[in-house]
């Protein structure tokens, strides 16, 4: 039993290290590092409880003078210290997000939000959310499932989250799931955000879309635009305002979010619905891929490029440079984009933060539109899929930003 205890505590220490240290160029170890790091990082509150429990077991049921037990207890103490560092990073993310909003938005952005809406927003977080990391439901929210927006079966279904209380002309948020363009579905991601915004009076739409390897780009973005066209035509039935559609998503969904924001009404990606208005009024991409060509070599040492070529594009930049350019949000950079709020974690193992930095630099050099960029120190890929102190801060910031985009849009309407 002593050996089992020593092995378990050693694994806990290794897990804490993966969350503290960015994993880079790890080859086939990347998925494992990501999964262990994300679980350890985002469940740090419960990790701290586990450390204290394991320490109590060690001093109660084992002999602390045993070398294996003593070394296990030392590892636990160091790992517990590391977990406290992780938690400090969680709570510090609130200041990072608030600073990003103040830098990227007008100085009076809070006052631009109507008072009745502003009263619903907060910068405080409470333990009732992040002590229940996979409990997402909010009171007063209704969810209607599996509504068809296209003809691709279950890959063209969407869910709609609405407030229970009656209303009309509510702003709309469309969520695009991630999953490396290969896996994922509308029920799995961004549930904290979707329930939060619906509870604040928004209409939220979560979509499926066709996936690789069966689907080849641009099938994915065509489906997103088809969903936007459907929402614009039908969302009034659920109390939504078809004239204001914001879009968000993480990872592959972050890539599609950015591409959607920058390619509004691009007819070749609207086959059969070329005249539909697929422009969006705001976009919030999270930890996305912004350049399919890896032009400046940011992703050296990763396998993303081979994966994109073989599974998603089914060609190479040399064989079809135009297709790769069109698939890259960085190649759509110009001044005609809606307000953007980009969020990326500094410890992202799957999509390195330098990709977001370069995209922001390219965009800020030419765009006159509002651009907010928040880099969250210590955050991993997919950090906001469960409730944590960091997720709670993110939800607050996202709500402030989304409410500002809608208020600003309303103020500029003719």
Q: Band the pLDDT of 70: cuts 50, 70, 90.
A: confident
Distance of CA 28 to the CA centre of its chain: 24
State percent of the chain over pLDDT 90: 77
The yes-or-no answer on residue 212 being catalytic is no
Active-site pick, 93, 251, 370, 392:
251
Pick 26 or 400 by higher pLDDT.
Answer: 400
Q: What sign does the dihedral 39-45-48-54 (CA atoms) show? A: negative
Q: Are 203 and 171 in contact (CB under 8 A)?
A: yes
The distance between the two most distant Cα atoms of the chain, rounded to a whole number of Å, is 78
pLDDT recorded at residue 211: 97
Q: Annotate 18-70 with DSSP letters as a single string.
A: HHHS---S-GGGHHHHHHHHHHHHHTHHHHHHHHHHHHHHHHHHS-TTSHHHH
Model confidence pLDDT, tens digit, residues 131-184:
888 889 889 999 999 999 999 999 999 999 999 998 899 999 999 999 999 999
Is the confidence at residue 118, as pLDDT, over 90? yes
3-state secondary structure of 245: strand
Tokens 């088809």, located at residue:
226
Q: Band the pLDDT of 293: cuts 50, 70, 90.
A: confident
Q: Are 359 and 258 in contact (CB under 8 A)?
A: yes
Is the confidence at residue 58, as pLDDT, over 90? no
| Assigned token pair, 170 | 């509510």
286's CB contacts (< 8 A; 6+ apart) are 248, 249, 250, 251, 253, 254, 257, 342, 343, 344, 384
The yes-or-no answer on residue 381 being catalytic is yes
Model confidence pLDDT, tens digit, residues 35-51:
999 999 999 999 999 99
371 beta partners: 340
pLDDT recorded at residue 212: 95
Q: Band the pLDDT of 401: cuts 50, 70, 90.
A: very high
Give whole-number Cα distances, 341 to 56, 113, 286, 401, in Å.
44, 17, 8, 8
Nearest-10 Cα torsion for 270, 271, 275, 279: -10
DSSP code, position 309: I
* CA 389/CA 402 separation, integer angstroms: 20
pLDDT recorded at residue 67: 84
Q: Is the peptide bond before 257 cis (omega within 30 degrees of 0)?
A: no
Model confidence pLDDT, tens digit, residues 234-264:
999 999 999 999 999 999 999 999 999 999 9
pLDDT recorded at residue 301: 64
pLDDT recorded at residue 170: 97
Q: What is the mean pLDDT of residues 1-11?
A: 87
Active-site pick, 212, 348, 370, 387:
348
* CA 235/CA 104 separation, integer angstroms: 30
Q: What is the mean pLDDT of residues 298-317?
A: 82
3-state secondary structure of 174: strand
Q: Band the pLDDT of 335: cuts 50, 70, 90.
A: low
- The closest alpha carbon to 372, from 286, 307, 312, belongs to 286
Give whole-number Cα distances, 289 to 255, 260, 366, 394, in Å.
5, 13, 20, 20
Q: Are 261 and 283 in contact (CB under 8 A)?
A: yes
Q: Band the pLDDT of 363: cuts 50, 70, 90.
A: very high
Q: Is the peptide bond before 356 cis (omega within 30 degrees of 0)?
A: no
Give start and end residues of each alpha helix (H) in 131-218.
191-199
Helix axes 67-104, 44-61, angle to 10 degrees: 170
Is the confidence at residue 339, as pLDDT, over 80? yes
Q: Does the model's pTM come out above 0.85? A: yes
65's CB contacts (< 8 A; 6+ apart) are none
Mean pLDDT, the chain, whole residue set:
93
pLDDT recorded at residue 302: 67
pLDDT recorded at residue 287: 97
* CA 330/CA 214 separation, integer angstroms: 26
Q: Annotate 142-161 with DSSP letters as a single string.
A: EEEEEEE-SSSGGGGEEEEE
Number of residues that this document lists for the chain: 414
Q: In what order do the strands lie in the sheet with 157-163?
A: 141-148, 157-163, 203-207, 170-176, 240-250, 282-286, 340-345, 371-376
Model confidence pLDDT, tens digit, residues 72-107:
899 999 999 999 999 999 999 999 999 999 999 999
- The closest alpha carbon to 152, from 252, 204, 230, belongs to 230
Q: Are 401 and 370 in contact (CB under 8 A)?
A: no
């Amino acid at each position: 039993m002593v050996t089992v205890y020593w092995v378990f505590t050693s694994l806990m220490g290794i897990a804490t290290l993966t969350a503290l240290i960015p994993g880079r160029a790890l080859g086939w170890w990347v998925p494992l590092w990501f999964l262990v790091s994300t679980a350890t990082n985002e469940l740090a509150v419960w990790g701290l409880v586990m450390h204290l429990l394991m320490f109590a077991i060690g001093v109660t049921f084992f002999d602390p003078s045993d070398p294996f037990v003593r070394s296990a207890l030392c590892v636990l103490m160091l790992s517990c210290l590391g977990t406290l560092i992780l938690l400090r990073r969680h709570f510090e993310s609130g200041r990072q997000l608030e600073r990003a909003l103040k830098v990227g938005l007008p100085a009076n952005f809070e006052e631009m939000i109507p008072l009745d809406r502003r009263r619903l927003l907060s910068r405080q977080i409470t333990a009732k959310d992040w002590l229940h990391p996979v409990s997402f439901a909010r009171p007063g929210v209704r969810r209607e499932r599996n509504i068809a927006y296209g003809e691709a079966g279950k890959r063209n279904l969407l869910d709609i989250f609405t407030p229970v209380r009656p209303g009309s002309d509510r702003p709309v948020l469309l969520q695009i799931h991630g999953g490396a363009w290969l896996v994922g579905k509308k029920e799995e991601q961004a549930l904290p955000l979707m329930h939060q915004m619906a509870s604040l009076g928004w209409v939220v739409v979560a979509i499926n879309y066709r996936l690789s390897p069966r689907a080849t780009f641009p099938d994915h973005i065509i489906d997103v635009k088809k969903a936007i066209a459907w929402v614009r035509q039908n969302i009034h039935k659920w109390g939504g305002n078809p004239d204001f559609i914001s879009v968000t998503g993480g990872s592959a969904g972050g890539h599609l979010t950015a591409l959607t924001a920058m390619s509004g009404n691009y007819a070749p990606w609207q086959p059969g619905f070329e005249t539909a208005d697929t422009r969006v009024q705001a976009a919030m991409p999270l930890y996305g891929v912004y350049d399919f060509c890896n032009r400046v070599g940011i992703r050296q040492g990763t396998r993303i490029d081979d994966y994109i070529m073989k599974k998603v594009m089914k060609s190479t930049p040399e064989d079809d440079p135009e297709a790769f350019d069109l698939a890259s949000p960085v190649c759509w950079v110009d001044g005609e984009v809606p307000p953007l709020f980009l969020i990326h974690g500094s410890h992202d193992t799957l999509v390195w933060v330098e990709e977001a930095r370069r995209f922001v630099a390219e965009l800020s050099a030419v765009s006159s539109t509002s651009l907010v960029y928040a880099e969250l120190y210590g955050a991993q890929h997919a950090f906001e899929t469960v409730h944590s102190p960091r997720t709670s801060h993110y939800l607050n910031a996202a709500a402030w930003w989304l409410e500002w985009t809608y208020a600003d849009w309303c103020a500029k309407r003719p």
